[in-house]
């Protein structure tokens, strides 16, 4: 359980530090039998519209942090951009209604967008709201190569680092996180958002902007592993996706077809592998340490 923020101090005392992506609101309640009234940190959630070459494409509900990462990651994982180089510029416009991200993209990318226009308002809630036909649900992605075998200790190590990295979650208790980890399980990049898809898009966008070879590590998320989370991981060419909760059947099916190693219920030293277990050494160093 996250700690509650303290009341503002006496006049002249320094105000509480600001948390980007959150605001303090008055709350009342009961904890351990004691009634309290104070100000608590609450995660921001605002409409974020994506406009591509002047054409409205999608409206998401998101935490207004790392929005350039989000715009690039969304465009890449949705197949709107073939490469990061097709995105020329992003301009952010703030209004009372929300935030609009104006993306200027290459002509080839804009032509692809017009060929497969989709109305996706509210996508963070249900994943595929507004998709025009069943043919638009899945995209053909090349299967992942076999790659190196990872040790299960790397996943456990990555999950143990989440709390230290999730500053907004510690403040609000309301956001998901997606992290990119080295093959040894070191968390190197992490993004947070009220929407699990958004957090993953932000992470993938950040990796693309930094020129990181995403295939050299794996992604860990604090949510369930839905079909779209799997499809986004495959689009980033990441060989393994580890989730703290369960996958869905469509996620498992998609992971099997794409040769993605899909891990669920990754908590402490426990985990369940749902697809392509050959890429993960389940009887690795941790078992050896127990026996010794």
Tokens standing for residue 181: 């980890």
Residues belonging to the active site: 126
β-pair partners for 29: 36
- What b/e readout covers 266-288, taking b as 16+ CB neighbours within 10 angstroms? beeeebebbbbeebbbeeeeeee
End-to-end CA distance of the chain: 36
């Amino acid at each position: 359980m996250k700690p509650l923020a303290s009341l503002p101090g006496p006049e002249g005392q320094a105000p509480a530090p600001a948390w980007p992506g959150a605001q303090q609101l008055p709350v009342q309640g009961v904890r351990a039998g004691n009634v309290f009234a104070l100000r608590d940190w609450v995660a921001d959630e605002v409409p974020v519209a994506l406009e591509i070459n002047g054409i409205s494409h999608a409206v998401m509900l998101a935490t207004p942090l790392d929005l350039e990462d989000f715009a690039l990651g969304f465009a890449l994982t949705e197949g709107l951009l073939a490469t990061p180089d097709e995105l020329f510029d992003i301009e952010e416009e703030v209004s009372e209604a929300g935030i609009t991200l104006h993306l200027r993209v290459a002509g080839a990318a804009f032509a692809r967008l017009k060929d497969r226009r989709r109305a996706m308002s509210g996508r963070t809630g249900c994943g595929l709201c507004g998709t025009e036909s069943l043919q638009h649900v899945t995209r053909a992605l090349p299967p992942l190569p076999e790659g190196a075998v990872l040790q299960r200790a790397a996943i456990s190590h990555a999950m143990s680092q989440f709390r230290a990295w999730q500053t907004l979650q510690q403040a609000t208790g309301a956001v998901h996180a997606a992290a990119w980890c080295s093959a040894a399980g070191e968390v190197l990049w992490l993004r947070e958002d009220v929407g699990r898809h958004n957090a993953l898009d932000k992470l993938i966008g950040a990796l693309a902007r930094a020129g990181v070879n995403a295939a050299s590590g794996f992604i860990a998320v604090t949510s369930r592993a839905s079909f779209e989370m799997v499809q986004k991981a495959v689009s980033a060419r990441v060989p393994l996706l580890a989730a703290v909760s369960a996958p869905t059947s469509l996620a498992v099916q998609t992971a099997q077809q794409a040769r993605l190693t899909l891990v669920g219920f990754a908590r402490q030293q426990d985990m369940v592998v749902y697809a392509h277990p050959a890429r993960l050494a389940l009887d690795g160093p941790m078992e050896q340490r127990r026996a010794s």
